[in-house]
Amino acid sequence: MNPDRRKFLKGAGAGVLGGAIAGATTAGAIATSAEAGTGIGQEPAPRVRFHGPHQAGILTPTPSSAAFAVFDIVGHSKTGLIELMRALTDQARFLTTGGTPPDLGPASPPADSGMIGPTINPNALTITVGVGASLFDGRFGLTGKKPKRLKPMTTFPNDNLNPAECHGDLLLQICSASTDTTFHALRTIAKHTRGAMQLRYRIDGFTAPPRPSGTPRNLLGFKDGIANPPVHEAATARRLLWAAPDEPAWAAGGTYHVMRIIRMFIEFWDRVSLTEQENMFGRRRDTGAPLDGSAETDIPAYAKDPKGAVIPLDSHIRRANPRTPQTDDSRILRRGYNYDRGIDTNGNLDAGLVFNCFQQDPMRQFEANQRRLVDEPLVDYISPTGGGYFFALPGIHDTTDWYARALLTGR
């Protein structure tokens, strides 16, 4: 082992664990989809496949628990960055596959915290890694390899951003079917990458089962993410989701990830009449149907309502997705989570939405949508406070591959 790698792994036990990981990846069948959250006494959710052309956690069905952890990379060595990505891959591969951590002996710290038991059960765990524009600032010799559309997050007119919770070198989106599984994964990764990356900010999220059916609801009581594009269709995914052909060759199979922390003033919202709430969204709260429809999947007939007599012209759904040929290419894949941070210094509930969307081009898609939403009526009840733009790396193809290998080695 070379001195740089020895220094990086010192005290973490990652070298021993890495050997266990390599053997664990071939043991047992790996599920290709995840169930919604599990509760006490229920069987763990299926495993989600780790290897493939795209990372899991993008098209994967949304489980009940998530953590979004943004890190700054410590140091300026490309060798150190490579070792970090290798170690991060080792941990993600093992945690999402499962198995028994190795016994490092009585004189060493345990290989695992034990908080989810002696054997790691993945429980629908996915770990999705994205990199921010700051990773390409010259520290690691990557300036000429930055994805073409990657930049710091734009500040929009209705934003109230906290600089301490914006941007960052690396984003981990960790999702699973239970809170302890999610936290265990974050804790384990933090242990084995200590000294190589430092947590900048973090926010945890949750979803609830659909009530009574269909799309889950946000904390304002409305169904969130009804109108996602059909990215399970290959042609749609190539056009709206995966990296465009003009991106650097290493980026093939990746996508742009926008993460936004959006606080909701829910005490204020709860004093607004239902009719006014529904007019702001353009949908019924109970069914999720557009105001001119009866089911959440109904397509609003804007052409028959040109003056907004039924669905107001400034409603959220009408501005976000006007459903015109000109705006068809601006659709995004939403994957949102609710959050609850307790109370603020004034005793108000600090809760809202961890908004996530994936797309081929954040300017053509997310920013175009956001510009249409400037000064919509809903802005009196929500306040974006943080987040960033990241490029979700291509998938890990096999047991010899690791995160960002093509970026960092050219192969």
Listed as ranges, residues in the chain with pLDDT below 50 are: 1-38
In a domain, 170, yes or no: yes
In a domain, 387, yes or no: no
Q: Residue 155: which domain range?
A: 3-137+145-213
| Whole-angstrom distance, CA of residue 43 vs CA of residue 45 | 6
pLDDT at 110: 92
Q: Residues 2-20: pLDDT tens digits? A: 444 444 444 444 443 443 4
In a domain, 194, yes or no: yes
pLDDT at 42: 62
pLDDT at 11: 40
List, in sequence order, every residue forming a beta bridge with 351; answer none if it has no partner. 264, 340
Question: Among 396, 411, 410, which Cα is nearest to 88's?
Answer: 396
In a domain, 390, yes or no: no
In a domain, 167, yes or no: yes
Q: Does the reported pTM lie above 0.85?
A: yes
**Structural domains counted in the chain:** 1
In a domain, 379, yes or no: no
pLDDT at 25: 35
pLDDT at 2: 45
Q: Residues 219-259: pLDDT tens digits? A: 999 999 999 999 999 999 999 999 999 999 999 999 999 99
Cis peptide bond N-terminal to 230, omega within 30: no
pLDDT at 323: 96
pLDDT at 12: 42
pLDDT at 75: 84
| Whole-angstrom distance, CA of residue 111 vs CA of residue 101 | 6
List, in sequence order, every residue forming a beta bridge with 173; answer none if it has no partner. 68, 128
Centroid of chain to Cα 189: 17
pLDDT at 1: 45
List, in sequence order, every residue forming a beta bridge with 72; answer none if it has no partner. 198
In a domain, 27, yes or no: yes
| Whole-angstrom distance, CA of residue 176 vs CA of residue 106 | 31
Residue 174, both tokens: 């960790």
Contacts of 270 (CB under 8 A, 6+ apart): none
In a domain, 206, yes or no: yes
